[in-house]
Amino acid sequence: MMLSFNEVVNAIESLHAQDLNTWIRDGWVLPSGNTKNYQFSEIDVARIQLISELFYECDFDAEAMPVVLNLLDQIYGLRRQLNTLTRAIEVQPTEIRIKISQALTESGRQSPQT
């Protein structure tokens, strides 16, 4: 379900329309459509919600936010690729999967205990 700009601003209590425009301009949020008629998908809305909480409640400012978002997007990029890799491993012969599992256990032992 796609939401319009006004629907998003209304749906998220703390959000100011001015701020959302800035976030779109700075590339923090990537809605489809054009500047006159933005369309926000569910992930866009979830992301705006997250940014709102970080911005209004946790006081991450315009300078810190790109760093946070960039790291976040890197983590999710990594997760996606790890999922891809996991699915690729799942269809490998048992022998190979055991070897991979052993390698992971081994590297777990070597890492320092916290």
Partner 1 sequence: MRTGVSLKKITLIYTPVTSQPRNGSRKFRSPMTYYKDPEKRLRYDQGEIDASGQENPERSFYRAYADTGDGAKYARYEDFADFMDKGDVFADLFRHAGEGQRSHIKMQGANTSYTLQIELLDAANGAKKRITMPDGNVLDVTIPEGVRDRQTIRLKGKGQPGYGGGSPGDAYIEIHIKPHGFYRRKDNNIHITLPITLSEAVLGGKIDVPTIKGKVSMTVPKGSNTGTTLRLKGRGILDAKTKQSGDQYVELQVVLPEEADQTLEDFVSKWAPANSYNPREKLKAL
Q: Looking at the DSSP assignment, which residues form a beta bridge with residue 33?
A: 38
Binding of partner 1 at residue 73 (CB under 8 A)?
yes
Site for partner 1 in 10-69 (CB under 8 A): 26-28, 30, 41-43, 45-47, 49-50, 53-54, 57-61, 63-64, 66-69
- Which helix (H) or strand (E) segment holds residue 97: the answer is helix 94-110
Query: With respect to partner 1, which residue has the nearer C-beta, 18 or 113?
Result: 113
Q: Is 39 helix (H, G, I), strand (E, B) or coil?
A: strand
Angle CA 15–76–68, to nearest 5 = 50
Residues that bind partner 1 (CB under 8 A): 26-28, 30, 41-43, 45-47, 49-50, 53-54, 57-61, 63-64, 66-70, 72-81, 83-85
